[in-house]
């Protein structure tokens, strides 16, 4: 349904509905996520967000530019606070045409004189336009719209300016006859007495909109019984943001640290979500040329009891470091290297892995199986002839480590950290023996070193959980998994067991030697270490 049609239905249906203020793309998306029926693009909020007064100090073209971003960010219908229409009937005609072009569902015009004064400013005069001149603006707006469902709301400021109820009613009737889809009756009293009196007199002549900024204590049931069509919560997103920003700015200035605010603010992953980064990742997969024929498999099925309540409702790969889940960080790195054909093996709390642009492989037996079983499930769906990159879902590493792996031309290669040899410090590590290590000056005695097999007895290094296989190497992995299955070990085998099985089948496994620059997240302190990456 068109957004214009949706807004018109909101105004015309008998039930009371609600829309909330937004002033930019992010706030518009937040309003949508909160479940509102529509968005009020507030003139006060738009002006204040730019640091200027609500006296038409931003031009109509600047208003249109800002609400276009809001329309792009959210699918909700937007009712724009159009002030006076930014001039006479001629300005209004062009204004309406441009709003329609930018996807705005409707405009609210008020019967003031340009430039307007904010209705809630104490002590300020509120001069009104001649009602028939304003009716001409409304008629011009109606005649200019290309979409019959584009909504025009006429806002009378008669009560705000101190005029009697009879004048407010007279103006509203003139505006209804001029073609307004609804009447917004505005009041700055602290009770709803005025708007309720208007509604009683108005009856069923047409939809009535209210803005309870000053009479916020009135129960919503009162508005429902009075027959109002729409309530606008007109400036509360902006005011919420100001309060939060002032509080945290003072805290950061006082503490000279982020420690006391980090836990109270939105995570970076939420920021990226509001920006639509998942959609961009999916689009990359559709439109960008993938890096050769390689597919990436991320093994992310585990829960890990070490993290207690942190993994009660999400898998370990979704734990956050610096505001971004481990899995999201790795996906960004992998895509930055040109890989968009990605599968994720998930198990524990699989619904919590909701990233876009990937395929999912389910491991329902995650609690009783290891990474080899997860990899085997992924290989069952791996297209013949495609090369493979496989990665643990709970590691954090520098981008250049993946690039080093990509530079290795062997049919099967694994990244091995030569600085990690303490089996007691890493009891679950995949330790291996190598044919040789790096020589003096960082030069290799022969290149590349080869994995001789798994070893926890004076190992030469630890595999970090990152491997690459050519189509030939993928065949070796299938063969090794079959060998482990014959021995009844495939379901629980670790990566070290799998690589040793490849070696025992007579195939060479190249080691890509590194010295640190990665973290295997297995306990809480690892999350702290991972923050450096």
Sign of the CA dihedral running 319, 321, 325, 330? negative
Which residues, 6+ apart, have CB-to-CB distance to 411 below 8 Å? 469, 470, 472, 473, 476, 507, 508
Residue 54 is among the residues annotated as catalytic for this protein = yes
Q: Are strands 208-210 and 342-346 parallel, antiparallel or unpaired?
A: unpaired
Query: Which is the catalytic residue, given 17, 24, 33, 54?
Result: 54
418-424's contacts with Cβ under 8 Å and 24+ in sequence apart are 418/460, 418/461, 418/513, 418/514, 418/515, 419/461, 419/515, 419/516, 420/461, 420/462, 420/464, 420/516, 421/458, 421/459, 421/460, 421/461, 421/462, 423/456, 423/459
Please say whether the beta carbons of 187 and 159 come within 8 A.
yes
Helix (H) or strand (E) holding 19: strand 17-22
CA 466 vs CA 189, 415, 418, 463: distances in Å: 66, 6, 14, 7
The phi-psi region of residue 458 (left if phi > 0; otherwise alpha if psi is between -120 and 50; otherwise beta) is: left
What is the spatial distance between Cα 524 and Cα 324, in angstroms, rounded to a whole number? 16
The phi-psi region of residue 83 (left if phi > 0; otherwise alpha if psi is between -120 and 50; otherwise beta) is: left
| DSSP code at position 523 | S
61-64's contacts with Cβ under 8 Å and 24+ in sequence apart are 64/95, 64/98, 64/99, 64/102
| Residues designated catalytic | 54
């Amino acid at each position: 349904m068109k957004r214009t049609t949706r807004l018109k239905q909101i105004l015309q249906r008998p039930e009371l509905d609600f829309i909330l203020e937004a002033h930019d793309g992010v706030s518009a998306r937040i309003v949508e996520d909160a479940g509102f029926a529509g968005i009020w693009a507030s003139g006060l909020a738009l002006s204040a967000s730019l640091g200027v007064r609500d006296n038409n100090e931003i031009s109509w073209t600047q208003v249109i530019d800002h609400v276009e971003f809001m329309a792009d960010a959210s699918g909700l219908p937007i009712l724009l606070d159009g002030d006076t229409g930014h001039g006479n009937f001629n300005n209004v005609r062009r204004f309406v045409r441009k709003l329609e072009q930018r996807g705005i569902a409707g405009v609210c015009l008020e019967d003031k004189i340009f430039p307007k004064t904010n209705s809630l400013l104490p002590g300020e005069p509120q001069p009104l336009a001649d009602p028939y001149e304003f009716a001409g603006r409304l008629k011009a707006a109606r005649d200019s719209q290309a979409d019959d469902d584009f909504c025009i709301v006429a806002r009378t400021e008669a009560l705000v300016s101190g005029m009697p109820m009879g004048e407010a009613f007279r103006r509203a009737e003139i505006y209804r006859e001029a073609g307004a889809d609804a009447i917004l009756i505005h009041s700055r009293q602290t009770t709803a007495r005025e708007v309720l009196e208007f509604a009683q007199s108005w009856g069923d002549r047409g939809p009535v909109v209210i803005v309870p900024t000053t009479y916020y204590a009135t129960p919503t049931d009162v508005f429902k019984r009075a027959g109002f069509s729409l309530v606008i919560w007109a400036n509360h997103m902006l005011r919420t943001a100001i309060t939060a920003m002032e509080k945290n700015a003072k805290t950061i200035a006082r503490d000279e640290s982020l420690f006391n605010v980090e836990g109270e603010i939105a995570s970076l992953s939420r920021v990226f979500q509001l920006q639509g980064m998942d959609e961009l990742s999916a689009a990359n997969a559709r439109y960008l040329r993938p890096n050769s024929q390689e597919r990436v498999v991320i093994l992310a099925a585990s829960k890990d009891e070490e993290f207690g309540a942190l993994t009660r409702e999400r898998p370990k790969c979704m734990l956050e470091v610096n505001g971004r889940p481990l899995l999201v960080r790795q996906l960004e790195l992998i895509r930055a290297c040109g890989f968009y054909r990605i599968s994720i093996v998930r198990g524990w709390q699989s619904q919590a892995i909701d990233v876009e642009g990937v395929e999912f492989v389910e491991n329902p037996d995650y609690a009783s199986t290891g990474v080899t079983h997860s990899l085997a499930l992924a290989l069952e769906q791996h297209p013949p002839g495609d090369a493979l990159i496989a990665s643990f879902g709970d590691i954090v590493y520098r981008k250049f480590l993946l690039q080093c792996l990509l530079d290795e031309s062997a049919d099967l290669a694994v990244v091995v950290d030569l600085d990690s040899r303490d089996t007691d410090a890493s009891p679950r590590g995949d330790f291996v023996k190598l044919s040789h290590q790096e020589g003096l000056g960082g030069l290799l005695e022969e290149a590349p070193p080869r994995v001789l097999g798994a070893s926890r007895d004076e190992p030469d290094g630890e595999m970090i959980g990152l491997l690459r296989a050519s189509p030939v190497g993928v065949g070796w992995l299938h063969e090794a998994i079959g060998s482990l299955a014959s021995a009844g070990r495939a379901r629980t085998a670790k990566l070290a067991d799998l690589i040793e099985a490849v070696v025992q089948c007579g195939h060479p496994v190249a080691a890509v030697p590194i010295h640190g620059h990665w973290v295997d997240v297995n306990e809480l302190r690892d999350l702290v270490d991972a923050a450096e990456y």
